[in-house]
Structure 1
Amino acid sequence: MDEGRALRPGWTTGTCAAAATRAAFAALVGGTFPDPVDVALPGGRRPRFALALAEAGAGFARAGIVKDAGDDPDVTHGAVIVATVRPGAPGSGVTFRAGEGVGTVTRPGLPLPVGEPAINPVPRAMIRTAIAEVCGATGASADVVVEIAVPNGAALAQKTLNPRLGIVGGLSILGTTGIVVPFSCAAWIHAIHRGVDVARAAGLDHIAGVTGSTSEAAIAALDGLAEIALVDMGDFVGGLLKYVRVHPVARVTIAGGFAKMTKLSQGLLDLHSRAGEVDLGHLARLAAQAGAPAALVEAIPRANTALEVLQRTQAEGVDIGAVVAARAVETAAALLRGTAVGVDVAVFGRTGALLARTPVTRG
């Protein structure tokens, strides 16, 4: 990617599914595949897509579109989104089916009932609109069965949070605007919200937001938490806490490594490096609070990394993890102030050893 070049947006799986459905349905009722095919987005735009697949036979038509995620590092970039359309029973309306590589909902708490194919509400609405437009132009019946498939989708889904959310067998067909904004992190925030929803629907009263695989394994072992209670928040602790504020659980643990929790102790709610670096001066002040000798306090701002600070304080018997955790839980509790949600912070070392744990605090 050229530096300074504007990032190229892409299209959601929902947009591709709707466009493929429009092409397939047009062929089913009219005998011809429109290529390229256009489709209406929720905001009014009508992008056009070339077909990568066009097949028809007795009682069915099938079309496929290659998903282009633009410059976003989307696991579905390059996947073929396939729609197969068949006549439905009179009066049945549009019925959705999960084909190869599209998951099925198995847990409550998601925006779709258990047993439904994982084709989210906005993509469903886009598909219905595409069908209605063809019906309006041809007079055809809108009683159709739409099957969405993503070849190799089951393997791709293992790189997503779908298995943890209880979506089995493949990917979700997603999108709210129809457009993928590169590096918007919208998909990750969406997954955080759905993780909380699934945990709440299961009746859990304690969830843990984790920054990565090490803290995830460590807090699961420490608190005996089931996988469904573990929310992979990555750097988006603010995204998790803001959602829990409105969709409460009794207790949420924030679990992460020393550097990430140091950032939280600084008041940062986005722990990515783009949002802010570890403030070594802040760590020096916390080390002083923990009783570090003056020479060490003076040396900390010149350290290379947070890990170096941790190692040097540990070598001198200074429990800097405890003061980092205490300050971090203040940041988290402030975001939950006025709610009944309890929050605590667990700080782990690089190998998963517990460095510090706060009591549960209520805002």
Structure 2
Amino acid sequence: MDLDRHSLRQGWTTGACAAAATWAAVYRLLTGLCPTHSEIVLPNGNSACFALARVELSSQGVLAGVVKDGGDDPDCTHGLEIQCLATRISSGEFHHPVIDLRGGEGVATVTLPGLELPIGEAAINPVPRAHILQIARELLAEYGDGCGLRLEIRVPGGEQAAKETISERLGLIGGISILGTRGTVRPYSTCAFAASVKQSVQVARAVGWQEVVLTTGSRTERAARQLFTHLTGSSVIQAGDFVGMGLRAARHFGCQRVRVVAMIGKLCKLATGQMMTHVSGKAIDFAALALLAEELGLNDFSAKVQAAHTGRHLLELSQSDLAEDVSQRYLAQICDAAAEHGRSYVGHACQVDIYLVDFSGRCLAQSKEIQ
């Protein structure tokens, strides 16, 4: 069913490359031995081996680098060298080795709310951040002498590459983000993935499913399988940014019902009729989402929605500025808008229901189920 997609060559995330560079830099720093490659376990549990562009000893410490390979879905970070400068520091009064992780050249700094990191932090997202720290801790445990480490992630050329993204609009200034929840990059923004979504719906119908679930990523897929335990196997389909393709396929192959499980960023796009939700596409229409708040009489809150920076920022505002029941009504209103766009998109040929889950997989709101 997924042959087209799996025949494409996967790539590595910036987070995986940073982790591989970290391993090489810290290993050389602590052991004095120069590695010829970096082999690490990725966040998805698979092992991966990276060629090293450099492992250089200097007065500051050790600088190691890995050239990012985007596979058959290269983006603006493809070909950049992701580096780690590892330096010994004192653990001071602490009883365990200190690890100070920071961003250097070409790594963005967070300047606006609404992201997964606080303002002022280097844009090294939580999963790669934890991955890098875990690698450093393991090496310290095996080879350390009680010292601590300063790890500086660098991306020469990252600031220029970021101009091809919407990073600055999101408040990410000075470079790119270090991203990745799996470690690998699936070649998803391609015709092959779009075709595989269609094929997945076709297979689900062929084995008898009248109802399918479309999810927008790995975390929403896990949430969907917990939410809808009666739906198993091929009925739960990871559509990524191609929810529109999944809806069209559901109409084409005669599904009776489609449930879409999304997190806030992609939901905001669906709620304004954007059925292709890739980050490189159209920005979130916060003016339209502000109108949804006004429909509930939330005029003061509407102004804050219009000034939001990201979908996550909007969610944070909803949860901090509104009473819990009011926040839930507003989020349900967004789900209702997305569901109505989805139903219109398929010419009302099948029922479309929308579910919003948070970053831990908890369901926050859902659209009204219209039979």
The structure number with the bigger radius of gyration is: 1
Match in the other structure for 2:27: 26
Indicate how the Cα distance of structure 1 residues 163 and 30 shifts in structure 2: closer, same or farther if over 3 A, else same. same
Q: Equivalent residues in 2 for 1:157-306 (5 A)? A: 157-183=162-188, 186=217, 209=272, 211=274, 213=282, 216=285, 228-229=307-308, 250=330, 264=341, 266=343, 268=345
Is residue 27–residue 33 contact of structure 1 (8 Å, CA) maintained in 2? yes
> Unaligned regions of 5+ residues in structure 1, if any?
200-206, 234-239, 255-260, 269-275, 286-326, 344-363
Match in the other structure for 1:62: 63
Distance apart, 1:126 and its partner CA = 1.4
Q: Which amino acid aligns with 1:52?
A: A
Deviations 1:262-310 (A, max 9, x none): 9935455xxxxxxx8xx6xx7xx9xxxxxxxxxxxxxxxxxxxxxxxxx
Indicate how the Cα distance of structure 1 residues 335 and 58 shifts in structure 2: closer, same or farther if over 3 A, else same. closer
Match in the other structure for 2:228: none
Indicate how the Cα distance of structure 1 residues 194 and 114 shifts in structure 2: closer, same or farther if over 3 A, else same. farther
Question: In 1, distance between residues paired with 2:180 and 2:283?
Answer: 30
Distance apart, 1:59 and its partner CA = 3.2
Is residue 208–residue 231 contact of structure 1 (8 Å, CA) maintained in 2? no
Match in the other structure for 2:211: none
| TM-score (normalizing by structure 2) | 0.56
Question: In 2, distance between residues paired with 1:220 and 1:47?
Answer: 42
Question: In 2, distance between residues paired with 1:194 and 1:148?
Answer: 29
Q: Which amino acid aligns with 2:131?
A: M
Deviations 1:220-273 (A, max 9, x none): 99998887537699xxxxxx99xx99985837998xxxxxx99935455xxxxx
Match in the other structure for 1:139: 144
Comparing 16-25 with 37-46, greater Cα deviation is found at 37-46
Question: In 1, distance between residues paired with 2:366 and 2:107?
Answer: 35
Partner residue of 1:120 out of 122, 125, 128: 125
Distance apart, 1:115 and its partner CA = 1.2
> Unaligned regions of 5+ residues in structure 2, if any?
190-215, 219-239, 242-261, 275-280, 292-301, 357-362
Question: In 1, distance between residues paired with 2:283 and 2:168?
Answer: 19
Distance apart, 1:42 and its partner CA = 2.5
| TM-score (normalizing by structure 1) | 0.57
Q: What is the root-mean-square deviation of aligned Cα atoms in Å? A: 4.8
Is residue 271–residue 339 contact of structure 2 (8 Å, CA) maintained in 1? no
Q: Secondary structure at the match of 1:48?
A: strand
Question: In 2, distance between residues paired with 1:8 and 1:16?
Answer: 17
Question: In 2, distance between residues paired with 1:194 and 1:83?
Answer: 32
Question: In 2, distance between residues paired with 1:24 and 1:61?
Answer: 5
Is residue 160–residue 175 contact of structure 2 (8 Å, CA) maintained in 1? yes
Q: Which amino acid aligns with 1:264?
A: H
Deviations 1:82-124 (A, max 9, x none): 1111112314611111111111112233222221111111112
Q: Secondary structure at the match of 2:153?
A: strand
Deviations 1:22-63 (A, max 9, x none): 101111122233121111222332211111122211131101
Q: Secondary structure at the match of 1:136?
A: helix
Is residue 14–residue 173 contact of structure 1 (8 Å, CA) maintained in 2? yes
Indicate how the Cα distance of structure 1 residues 162 and 35 shifts in structure 2: closer, same or farther if over 3 A, else same. same
Is residue 208–residue 230 contact of structure 1 (8 Å, CA) maintained in 2? no
Match in the other structure for 2:156: 151
